[in-house]
Structures are given as structure tokens and as C-alpha cells.
A and B are shown apart, each in its own frame.
Chain A
Amino acid sequence: MSFWSRLINVFRGDSLSREILEEYKAHVADAVAQGLDPLDAQRNFGPTLSRLDVSRDFRLIPWLDSVRGDAVFAWRQLRKTPLISLAAILSIGLALGACASAFRLIDALLLRPLPVDHAERLFVLSHEVIETVDGMPLTNDFFAYPIFRRLRASVKQQAELIAISYVSRIDVTYGTNADVEKANQQYVSGWMFSALGLHPALGRVFSEDDDKTPGAHPYAVLSYAYWQSRFGGDPQVIGRAFHVGADTYRIIGVAQAPFTGTETGTTTDIFIPTMMMKNNATERSDYEPFRAFVKLKRRFDRAIVHDRLDTIFHVWLREYAKTFRTVSGQEIQAYVNQKLLMNSAGAGVSKLQADYGRPLVVLGILVSVVLVIACLNIANVMFVKAAARSREMALRISIGAGPGRLVQLVLLESALLSCAGAVTAGAFAWWSAPFMVKMISSPVAPAQLILSTDWRVLGFCAGITCAVTLLLCLPTALRVSAAEPVNALKGDTLRSRNRFTYSLIAAQAAFCFLVLFVGTLFITGLDRLLKQPLGFSPDHVLTLETLTTTPVNAVFWEQVADRLRALPGVKAVALSEWPLLTGESWNNLVSVKGAPASPLRSYFLSISPSWRQVMGIPLLEGKDFRPSDRTPGSAIVNSAFVKEYLGSGGPIGKSFDMVTFGGSRLSFRIVGLVADARYRDVREPMRPVAYVPFTAAYTRATFIVRTIGDNPLARATDLRREIIRARSDFHVGNIRTQDELVQSHTVRERLLAILASFFGTVALLLAGVGLYGTLNYAVLQRQREIGIRIAVGAKPGSIAIHMAETAFSVVLLGAGVGLALGMTASRYIESLLFDVKATDVWALGIPGITILMLALVASTPAAIRAARIDPATTLRAE
């Protein structure tokens, strides 16, 4: 009989038995028909039921049949207490789903290899300045092209070096009258495709010949995904032209799916050869736009290649440092002593990874801890239920069930729970992982994380479901397999059981404290970050970044601003090169009275005369720019600037030089002093800023519009239309509110705080339910004992206090362990916290008080119940 028919027979056990019995009966009937007495015929046949068992075992798969039987039994057990089972499934589902979705994100961001040939042989170079001014090592992933070219030549035998720029969001037009649209573009070495083993899906991809002469290769390769979404997979796309500003590119091919660049979290739509980068980017050494990827020819050459690159890099650093004229000796030393790092880039390299890698791992650990709490709760319930069934178990052992069989029964019950939980979790993770991606995406840095469900995710989910199953059944299984039937039938020893449930409660309290502690750290950090003074008022301010194809004089920019001022709903309009807090900056060294430049750089920003007022930055001394002010010439500085470079005495009328990287000096006279305002980042201390007049010709500038009404974005369409109507060569790019820009700096902190407080609440709830259930059950168990105590004169109050005492000591013990865990963990997360230490009063006090409140609330019902026990009723019931 085949395996399949035996497998099928497992699931039709009853009809199988009927069939076999029918055969037996027919046999006896035949014997009777032959003239035998029915009783004799039956006796000749022998014992029917034991024969049936033997026959059944031949016709199905015995072990599977016992599993099926136990599963059915376990299902009935769960159905007996539907509410508890549902709560168990939901709490496991939530925690498991959170783990799964955290892992999905971790996988997509950090683990999944790039879809390239031998991703494990791909590395990326970075250089690290160790001796910095503030003592924090500064890592930079980007390189100038000349040094890249030299590095590439030095390891030609062992590896291929590939230059890949950051991804920029560009404005593209297909055809002359077509609308402008956004696309992600990346400059890549022509040999990238062949080095990564990527073939064209259509047309051809770049070769080394497409990346030789600056400005001579106006070609583009599309990513497959972009080709599909933008062109619907139209093969006619080859040869089509598109415009970016004044430049025209021709599409020569589509790269094979699913490659969308090396920047995990950003999908590249258009690849362009590095030689097409503007501003002489491939010839200059002072401009670092490229990541340098290393694709080894053989895996084991890593150390050799790294050594060789390191040597060449330092030769170049020493050479190049000789060209520095304005830099102090100490800085030159730090520059020359940089370290060259070569890290794995198999999963791609991106800012998103750097920003969110660690937070995601922390969140993953946090939700795992919540999962453990949920599991401990349910393990406790199962343990108590098994204790209630100890007589049944003892009976099973007495009639011959081995410990293995009983463990199987318990295992199946927990497997049912965890599998049901896993199904819930799957639904939850399906929804929550994309939701998280949306949360970490900001208008400044949109996150496009490809969330595919691959074998790693499925394996992780299967593994964690197994772990949950084991965790759920372990305490009960240990107990059941060690059970002595005699003891169980006589009545179990209560003491050891209680000690065990209390240690589970202590463990829960410990984990709960850990989650609360970490959550409090994140929330306190966010709170302090949000309380950082901005120095300007971002509300109702809309920023419209505007681009032109050729430089346009400031006078014409101002004319457009005048037209915007006339629109309804507009209070004031100003111009600057870019908005505050986009992360963009222009910085230079500053020298006062011809002295050598100070090591700390100052930020610079070109602003129109009304800018300060529109931004709401207070004027402390002097006056705003007038239209007659020019760059170089007049400057407005902030307080930090005065403190850093000028010292005491009124700054108005004093002069300073802006020292460019090449060493040239531009002179400025200070006409105004303004209060400090954030420029690039809200985390750094207030830095020196010099504002200079917006008077040159610009290809890009931003209209800063203070609007009337609640939602500044409501004005966006009108403003954009008015700009285009005023100047047909103006094109409006990003439109963002200043509030959005400010908030984009705290996305990570907000995400961590929101999720940590959510899971903190879940952990608290689970631990509370666990404690409540255990205490209540303990009172029920000790009803008789308490009844006797009260009968012989114990006061109800002291009974209640005794119960509460037990709860508190268990919770306090747990909290102590949790504190130790939290202190250890805090070292790992300190880099994610803004201005908070683990020893902070708030960070310790809030979780401590919360968990004590929890113990109080959860133990009150049990204490009241214990105090209300009526000895007469209880003793009579016995």
C-alpha cells in the first residue's frame, strides 16, 4: 500500500476502522453461513479489537495518527476556554507579527544581497578622520574622482573599482512639450554593469568606452522597474531622448531586473556615465561625489587589495595635503592620518542603512522581548491548566502512556497556539512593515525599501514560531514528563508549582521593565530634541525650490517675488538659495583682520532683504540688508559667529574675510547681528552663520512664503502657477512646508519613541494580565488555607497585605534584573539618544514607578478576594 493511501487513511481514521470491522464481520458471517454456531465462529476469530489495532497500524502511519489524535484533543482543550485561547493567540500574533515585520525591514535594509553576480565579493571604501576637533571620528563614504582613478589602477589585477555617485532626484522631460517629472538618477562607472555581471534586458548597457571623456557620453540606461512603470515595458524606448535642464540624454538600454542601484532604500531609475557629471566633477580633487565599490575577482584577495589601496590612498593624501594653504598643521596631520576602510557592500550601501540599521535592530530586540513576555504569560496559563489536569495526566501514565506521549500532547497544544498566532502575525506583518517604511520616509529623504518575502523572512518566521512553541510548552512538558503518577493521584505538591509561576512572573517583570526603560529613554530623548530652540518660526512658511536652465539675475528673481506678494493668502515673500534645515549647507573658513583662518568653519547663506523677517529671526543690532548691499561686501552674522570669531565689543561695522578652499579671500563688513537659528541640523550646537546678500545670478533659489491660513500647502498650486506665469524659464521643483523640513530631522526619534511607547504599553498590559491571573489563581488554590487562617483569628487586612507583599517582592526582584539588563543595553543605544543618559532620573524613575503601579493594580483584586474569604463557606465546601 502506498505512502499516500496510508497518509490519507490517517485523516479518515473512523471510516478505516469501520472498513476493517466490516471485513471481520463478513468473515464471521461467512463462517456462520457454512453452518457454524455464531458463538463458535466469533470464538474462532479471536479478539476483534486488538486485531483491529494491529490492522489499523499497518494501513496508516501510526505516529502521524497519534499526532492527529493529540491535535484533535488539544484543539478541544483550547476550545474549552475560548477567551483565554483567543487572548493568547492575539497576544502571540501581535508580538510575533511585530518581530516578523521588524525582521522583514532588517532583511530588506541590511541582509538581502544586491541582485548582482557574487554580491559577497562586493566591498565599499570609506575614509575616516580619527583626530577630529570634537574627538568623534568622522567617516566619509565619498571620494574625489582623481584619487578613485588612481586607486582603480593600483589593484587592476585583483579587483575592479566602480565609482557610483549618490542618488539625486532630478527633473526630467521626455519630448519638448511634455510635463516635467521626477526621477532618481545616479552617475555610475561605465564598467559597472559588466563588473557586477548585469546584462541588458533591452538594447545595451554601458561599457568602459561610454565613460572615457568628460561630457562626451550623453547616454542613459534605465532600470527595469522604471522602464516598466514609466513606459509600460515599451521596447520603442530605445533611442528616445530626454532633457534634464539644458542637457539632452539618449536612452540606449534597460538593465536587467531586479537591479535598481546599490543604494538600499532608494531605487535608481536612470543611470548615467560618471563622465557626464557637471562642474568638472571627474577632474577635481576638492569635490567628493563618488562612492568607490570594490568587486574582488577572488574572495580571498580582500586583505591584499585593502593593503594595496591603503598604501596608494596615503601616498595621495600626503601629495594632496601639500596644496592646502589655509589649513592648520594639526588639521593637515589629521587629514594625512585618515584610515581607509573596506567594508562589505553585499547588501548595498546607503544613508538609510546608516540611519536606521541600529534603530531597527533595537526595535527588533524590543519586540522580541515583548514576544517573550507574551509567551511567558501563556506558558504560565498552560502550566496552571496542566496542573489542574494532573490527575488526568497521572491516569494516562498509569495506563501506559510514556512521558514522550504526554510531551507530544503538550507540544501539540502549544504548536496549535503558536501556529494560530503565526497566522495572525502574518496578517499583521503584511500590513505593518510597509507602514513602517512610510513612517521612516520623509519629504527630504523618501525611503523606497523593496519588501519582498524571501526565504530568509519565511525561515525566520518558521524558526521563531518553533521557538515560541518550545517556549510555551517547555515548563509544562518538563513537569509532565517528570510527573510521578502516584504523587499526582495523591495530590500534587503545591509549593514547587507556586515557586515556578512566581519566577515566570519575575521574568516578565524584568523584561517589562527593560522595554519600559528603553522606551522612556527614547521618549525623553525625543522630548529634549523637540525642545531644542529653532531660532526661527517655521509655522505657515512654505518653501518653493525653483530652478532655471541658465543663471538668472537676482533682480528678476525679486520681480517674481513681487508678483507672489500680490497673491491673496500671502503675507510675505523672501528669497534664499535654499531653505533652512534641508541638510544643504555652504561653509567656509573665516579670517578676521588678515589672521590665519580659525579651524571651525562658518555656514553661509545668500538671503534677500526681507528674508530675516519672513523667517521670524530676531534682529539684535544693526539693520537688515538693503537692495544696494552686495556680495562680497555686506554681511549679517549671528551671535555664535560673534562669539567664535570676534569676541567682545559690538560687531557692527567690523570686517572679516571668507576664505575659500582654494585660499582666495572675500571681504565682508558686518551690518547686522541676528539671533542664532538652526541652519543644517537640529542636533548640532548653534554654529556660526554669516548671511550674505542675494544679489548674484542663480540657476536655483527658493521662494520663502509666509502664508495666511492654517495649511500653507493650500497655497502651493496658486504660487507655482504664478511663478511659471511670471517666467516661463522658471521651473518649480520641491514644494515643502518649513514645518515638514524641521520634522524630517526628528523622524527617527519619533519613530523610535512611538513604537517603543506602543510596545511598552503592550508589555505592561501583558505583564499586568499575567500577574493578575497568577495571583488570583494562587488565592483560589490557597482558599482552604486562608479560610483556616481567618477562622483561627487572622485579620482580613493582614491576609490582603500578605498577598500584596508576595506580588511586590516578585515584581521588585524582576525590576532589579530588568534594570541590570537595561543598563547593559543602554550602552548599545546611547548613540540613538539625544542628550539622555541611562542614569537620568526620568529614565529610571518612570519605568520604576510604572511597574510598581502595575503591581499594585494587578494585585488588588486578588488581595481583596483573599480578604473576603468566608471561612465557614470555604471549609464547608471542602
Chain B
Amino acid sequence: MPKSDKLQGSLEVLILKVLSRRPNIHGYAIITAIRQVSAEVLQVEDGSLYPALHRMEQAGWIRAKWSARDAGDRRRVYELTRAGHKQLAQDEVRWQSVTLAINRVLRMV
């Protein structure tokens, strides 16, 4: 099972993708979504999600806001910005070409 460190670079594209499908969800929901959709294959160490989120926020790909649930209980929810959508499109293309290339090498006879 790949550890979070080996997912460097791919974590960001996963977050972007999740947020593009389900905007305004909080960190725990993002991790759960990645885990569920990948059928438990991709495991992200919970804590490492947040520095990534904050970095992407600073880069302007996502924006955050606090959404209150009950009194005194609130969650920081994230959504993509226009720059985030553009970034996701780019990353998806790059990811596809990289996996394609790796697959070609692996299929070498």
C-alpha cells in the first residue's frame, strides 16, 4: 500500500479532483472520499492533508470558509477557485501522459 510520502504530487491532484466533484466539503470528507473512491487503495495520512490544503490555498487554487454546523462546532470547508479548475485540468493531462508512459514501459516485452 503506497504511503503518503510516495503520493507526493499526486495528493494535490486528488484533492483538486475531489473538490471539483464535491465542493464545500471539509478535510475529513476529502480524505474519506479519496479512500472510498480508490477502494481503500490510496491511503493518505490524515494529518498530511492539511499542510497540502493550506499550501494550495496560498497558491490560490482553493479557497476556504468556515461553515457552522451547531453552536460552537464549525468546519473549515474548501472549494476550487477558477485557478484551481485550470490547475486540475493541467494536472489531469500530465498525470494521464505519465501513467501512459509508465504503462508502456511496463508492457515492454
Which A residues fall within an 8 A CB radius of B?
1, 6, 19-20, 22-24, 26-27, 30-31, 34, 41, 44-48, 51, 54-55, 58-59
Contact = CB atoms under 8 A, between A and B. Distances in A.
Given A23-B27, A58-B57, A59-B57, A44 B46 contact: yes
B26 A26 contact: yes
Given A26-B75, A51-B51, A55-B50, A46 B28 contact: no
Given A26-B75, A46-B45, A46-B46, A54 B58 contact: no
Contacts of A22: 74
A22 B76 CA distance: 9
B48 interface: yes
A44 B35 CA distance: 14
A466 to B, nearest CB: 32
Contact of B50 (A1, A23, A41): A23
B10 to A, nearest CB: 18
Contacts of A58: 51, 54-55, 57-58
A48 B48 CA distance: 10
Interface string B44-62: 0111101100110110100
Contacts of B54: 20, 54-55, 58-59
Nearest to A46: B47
A47 B47 contact: yes
Contacts of A20: 50, 54
Given A1-B60, A44-B46, A46-B46, A54 B27 contact: no
B47 A30 contact: no
B19 to A, nearest CB: 16
A1 B47 contact: no
Contacts of B73: 26
Contact of B28 (A19, A26, A48): A26
Given A1-B63, A23-B75, A24-B47, 16 more contacts: A20-B54, A23-B50, A26-B28, A26-B76, A30-B26, A30-B28, A31-B28, A45-B45, A45-B46, A48-B47, A54-B54, A55-B50, A55-B54, A58-B54, A59-B54, A59-B57
Contacts of B55: 58
Counting chain B CB atoms within 10 Å of each CB, which of A6, A20, A54, A58 scores highest? Answer: A58
Contacts of A26: 26-28, 73-76
Nearest to B27: A27
Nearest to B47: A46
Contacts of B51: 51, 54-55, 58
A20 B58 CA distance: 14
30 contacts: A1-B58, A1-B60, A6-B58, A19-B76, A23-B76, A24-B50, A26-B27, A26-B73, A26-B74, A26-B76, A27-B26, A27-B27, A30-B28, A44-B45, A44-B46, A44-B47, A45-B47, A46-B45, A46-B46, A46-B47, A51-B47, A51-B48, A51-B50, A51-B51, A54-B51, A55-B54, A58-B51, A58-B54, A58-B55, A59-B58
A46 B46 CA distance: 7
B28 A27 contact: yes
Chain B interface extent, by class: 20 to 34
A59 B60 CA distance: 11
B96 to A, nearest CB: 28
A58 B59 CA distance: 9
Contacts of B48: 46, 51
Contacts of A19: 76
Contacts of A55: 50-51, 54
Contacts of B28: 26-27, 30-31
Interface in B39-94: 45-48, 50-51, 54-55, 57-58, 60, 63, 73-76
A58 B50 CA distance: 11
B4 to A, nearest CB: 9
A45 to B, nearest CB: 4
B42 to A, nearest CB: 15
Contacts of B57: 1, 58-59
A203 to B, nearest CB: 59
B20 to A, nearest CB: 19
A32 B12 CA distance: 25
B64 to A, nearest CB: 9
Nearest to B73: A26
Given A23-B76, A26-B28, A31 B58 contact: no
Contacts of B75: 23, 26
A26 B47 CA distance: 12
| The 8 residue pairs across chains A and B that have the minimum distance between CB atoms | A46-B47, A30-B28, A58-B54, A54-B51, A45-B47, A45-B46, A55-B54, A58-B58
A23 B51 CA distance: 12
Interface in B1-46: 26-28, 32, 45-46
A289 to B, nearest CB: 72
A22 B68 CA distance: 13
B32 to A, nearest CB: 8
A19 B66 CA distance: 10
Nearest to B59: A1
A51 B4 CA distance: 14
A834 to B, nearest CB: 70
A48 B49 CA distance: 12
Contacts of A23: 27, 50, 75-76
A64 to B, nearest CB: 14
Contacts of A27: 26-28, 46, 50
A51 B54 CA distance: 11
A43 to B, nearest CB: 9
Contacts of A46: 45-48
A3 to B, nearest CB: 10
A1 B76 CA distance: 15
A833 B85 CA distance: 79
A59 B62 CA distance: 13
A419 B47 CA distance: 43
Contacts of B50: 20, 23-24, 27, 51, 55
Contacts of B60: 1
A42 to B, nearest CB: 9
Nearest to A44: B46
Nearest to B57: A1
Contacts of A59: 54, 57-58
A265 B75 CA distance: 69
* Residue of A20, A23, A44 with highest tally of chain B CB at under 10 A: A23
Nearest to B49: A27
A20 B54 CA distance: 10
A857 B45 CA distance: 71
A24 B50 CA distance: 8
Contacts of B27: 23, 26-27
Which of A27, A41, A44, A45 has its CB near the most chain B CB atoms (within 10 A)?
A27
Contacts of B47: 24, 44-48, 51
Nearest to A24: B50
Contacts of B26: 26-27, 30
